[in-house]
């Protein structure tokens, strides 16, 4: 699938190179709205674990923002919670979460504790732990909108956003109002039913001199209903969805069924692919798939799993692609590894074109080893030709990393007293950058004596078949209060092109971001950014207002 459209805006969030901004998940006032942060501690093939649980105000069904480099890159859905840890599913199977990423959430406060704390004059701890069913009566459902939805089993958000982009010294102006709706829920109203909805609508206005253009777009990324059996360990989903196990199968309209045991699961899917441009329903491409998974016993210090799948897609009855999907993971407290491999099966016209029946076409893998509690080594490989990502924007840092995505890499990071230091070397093979190498040094603050301040920086030096240059970035985050955050950031990219007539180019960007959470479930964002150099000369403003429940 084609790369996501370029919408260069900055969401106002507090993050510097994957480091928390100092908002501690702990004691909060019952009447003070806050947005807390946690970190991704480790992952398996299907689960992302974070270091916050019921005692930090996380509940099953919560939808958490994943934040990196100052923007939300995706969402996690909480499905299991312990006292101080939670297990989450990726809402987008293609979401590239890494250990150290920050997740942001609005904590829940136990009403009984809040009332007791108010009477005693103390601050209650944020908690989302449910009362023991055997010891306490079932809680009454709230009559408030947010409480009623939560009690019914729904979580999500609805929001409006507005973006303006202008080019200095020209009459070019781009404006885009938008509306987002996201819902997720299981066991709705105590039943076996669930649903997922992700709809994003926007209207674009583009004016350049006497010419103007207007575009209305409604994209449905997810809209499905599910049934999860209680007596029978089976789940059936109907509608528009992703396959969480066969992650290489992206968006499709159809049905998915899975039957699971403690150590195994089998499943299958059938459907059609939406129109790649409009995201409307289309019957042109039909696809089918099946898979089987075997995993280790739960509760062990080490966990492992292996999946084998077979997927086929067809256009008007003709073979489009048939391939075997292999996936495996292994996790221990010190070592984790993940590997996914696709092998095309060439029949008919494809056998003649490829001159072989088997063609290894895509591989993605990574491994991390914790040498000491402070030092971690990593390595990975990525030969995927297309990665399906739904991002609201691509800034200069993301654009650079996307260009060097395909290839392999090694990394190291160390947590010092007040600093986190990291280094990585990436060797690109194909992709937008062509063959080349990049070397990066990352520096971030950690546990500063000034708890409300966080600073991070990056320096990257690269040399590819198309260009060579340097990239520098700096970000300073300030937590004015637990619910009010500022982020000041900027960067410089200097490049010498090797395949163009332009010898040298320089790109400079800087901006300020602000967000405030209030009334426990409202969030306002404001971002202002200026970019100069080359064809990127523009200034932009982005603002959004959302209600989370």
CB pairs under 8 A, 24+ apart, for 471-478?
A: 471/396, 471/397, 471/400, 473/397, 475/16, 475/17, 475/69, 475/70, 476/16, 477/14, 477/15, 477/16, 477/21, 477/22, 477/453, 478/452, 478/453, 478/454
Is the pLDDT at 7 greater than 50? The verdict is no
pLDDT, tens digit, 9 for 90 and up, residues 303-337: 889 999 999 999 988 888 899 999 998 888 889 89
Residue 3 lies in a domain: no
d(CA 57, CA 517): 16
Is the pLDDT at 120 greater than 50? The verdict is no
pLDDT number for residue 461: 97
Question: 350 Cβ partners below 8 Å, 6+ apart?
Answer: 319, 321, 344
Is the pLDDT at 88 greater than 70? The verdict is yes
CB 494 within 8 A of CB 502: no
pLDDT number for residue 500: 62
Is the pLDDT at 135 greater than 60? The verdict is no
Cα dihedral 236, 242, 248, 252, rounded to 10, equals 90
d(CA 527, CA 85): 32
- Per the model's pLDDT, the better-predicted residue between 24 and 76 turns out to be 76
Is the pLDDT at 300 greater than 50? The verdict is yes
| Number of domains making up the chain | 1
Residue 297 lies in a domain: yes
Q: Which domain holds residue 186?
A: 36-131+144-548
Is the pLDDT at 485 greater than 60? The verdict is yes
d(CA 100, CA 44): 14
- Per the model's pLDDT, the better-predicted residue between 494 and 79 turns out to be 494
d(CA 397, CA 56): 32
Q: What is the mean pLDDT of residues 165-190?
A: 87
Q: What percent of the chain has pLDDT over 70?
A: 79
Is the pLDDT at 12 greater than 80? The verdict is no
Residue 365 lies in a domain: yes
d(CA 1, CA 321): 14
pLDDT, tens digit, 9 for 90 and up, residues 465-479: 888 999 999 999 888
- Per the model's pLDDT, the better-predicted residue between 77 and 137 turns out to be 77
Lowest average pLDDT, out of 167-176, 297-306, 485-494, goes to 297-306
Residue 24 lies in a domain: no
Lowest average pLDDT, out of 27-31, 52-56, 364-368, goes to 27-31
d(CA 222, CA 203): 20
pLDDT, tens digit, 9 for 90 and up, residues 48-72: 888 888 778 887 767 788 877 556 6
Which residues are 454's β-sheet partners?
477
Is the pLDDT at 265 greater than 50? The verdict is yes
Residue 513 lies in a domain: yes
Residue 17 lies in a domain: no
Structure tokens given for 209: 């001199």
pLDDT, tens digit, 9 for 90 and up, residues 414-460: 988 888 899 999 999 987 788 999 999 999 886 677 878 888 899 99
Residue 20 lies in a domain: no
Is the pLDDT at 357 greater than 80? The verdict is yes
Is the pLDDT at 481 greater than 80? The verdict is yes
Question: 271 Cβ partners below 8 Å, 6+ apart?
Answer: 252, 253, 254, 255, 286, 287
Is the pLDDT at 258 greater than 70? The verdict is yes
Cα dihedral 224, 225, 228, 232, rounded to 10, equals -100
CB 175 within 8 A of CB 162: yes
Return the CATH number at 293: 2.40.170
pLDDT number for residue 3: 32
- Per the model's pLDDT, the better-predicted residue between 7 and 476 turns out to be 476
| β pairing state of 71-81 and 36-43 | unpaired
pLDDT, tens digit, 9 for 90 and up, residues 514-536: 989 888 788 899 999 898 886 67
Residue 331 lies in a domain: yes
Separation in Å, CA 482 to CA 26, 118, 196 = 11, 19, 31
Is the pLDDT at 73 greater than 80? The verdict is no
């Amino acid at each position: 699938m084609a790369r996501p459209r370029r919408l260069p805006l900055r969401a106002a969030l507090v993050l510097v190179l994957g480091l928390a901004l100092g908002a501690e998940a702990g004691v909060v006032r019952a009447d003070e709205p806050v947005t807390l942060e946690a970190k991704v501690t480790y992952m398996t093939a299907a689960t992302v674990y974070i270091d916050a649980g019921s005692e930090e105000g996380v509940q099953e069904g919560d939808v958490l923002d994943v934040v990196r480099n100052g923007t939300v890159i995706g969402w996690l859905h909480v499905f299991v919670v312990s006292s101080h840890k939670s297990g989450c599913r990726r809402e987008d199977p293609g979401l590239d979460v890494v250990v150290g990423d920050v997740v942001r959430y609005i904590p829940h406060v136990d009403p009984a504790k809040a009332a007791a704390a108010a009477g005693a004059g103390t601050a209650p701890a944020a908690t989302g732990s449910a009362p023991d069913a055997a010891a306490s009566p079932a809680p009454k459902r709230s009559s408030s909108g947010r409480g009623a939805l939560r009690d019914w089993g729904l979580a999500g958000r609805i929001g409006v956003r507005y973006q303006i982009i202008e080019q200095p010294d020209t009459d070019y102006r781009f404006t885009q109002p938008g509306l987002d709706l996201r819902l997720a829920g299981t066991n709705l109203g105590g039943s076996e039913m669930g649903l997922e909805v992700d709809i994003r609508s926007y209207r674009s206005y583009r004016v350049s001199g006497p010419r103007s253009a207007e575009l209305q777009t409604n994209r449905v990324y997810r809209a499905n209903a599910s049934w999860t059996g209680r007596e029978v360990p089976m789940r059936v989903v109907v509608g528009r969805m992703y396959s969480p196990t066969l992650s290489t199968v992206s968006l499709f309209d159809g049905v998915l069924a899975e039957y699971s045991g403690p150590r195994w699961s089998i499943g299958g899917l059938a459907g059609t692919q939406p129109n790649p441009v409009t995201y409307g329903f289309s019957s042109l491409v039909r696809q089918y798939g099946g898979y089987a998974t075997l995993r280790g016993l739960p509760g062990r210090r080490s966990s492992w799993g292996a999946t084998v799948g077979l997927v086929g897609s067809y256009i008007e009855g003709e073979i489009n692609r048939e391939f075997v999907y292999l996936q495996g993971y292994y996790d221990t407290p010190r070592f984790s590894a993940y590997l996914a491999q696709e092998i095309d099966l060439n029949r008919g016209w494809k056998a003649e074109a490829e001159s072989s029946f088997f063609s290894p076409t895509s591989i993605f893998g990574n491994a991390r080893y914790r040498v000491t509690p402070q030092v971690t080594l990593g390595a990975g490989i990525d030969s995927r030709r297309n990665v399906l990502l739904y991002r609201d924007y691509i800034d200069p840092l993301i654009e650079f990393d996307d260009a060097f995505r395909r290839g392999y890499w090694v990394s190291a990071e160390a947590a010092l007293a007040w600093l986190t230091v990291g280094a990585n070397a990436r060797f690109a093979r194909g992709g937008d950058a062509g063959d080349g190498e990049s070397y990066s040094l990352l520096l971030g603050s950690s546990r500063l004596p000034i708890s409300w301040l966080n600073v991070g920086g990056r320096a990257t030096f690269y040399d590819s078949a198309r260009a060579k240059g340097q990239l520098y970035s700096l970000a300073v985050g300030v937590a004015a209060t637990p619910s009010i955050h500022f982020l000041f950031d900027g960067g410089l990219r200097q490049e010498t092109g090797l395949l163009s007539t332009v010898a040298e180019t320089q790109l400079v960007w800087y901006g300020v971001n602000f967000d405030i959470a209030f009334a426990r479930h409202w969030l306002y964002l404001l971002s202002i950014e200026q970019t100069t150099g080359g064809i990127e000369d523009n200034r932009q403003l982005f603002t959004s207002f959302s209600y989370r429940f």
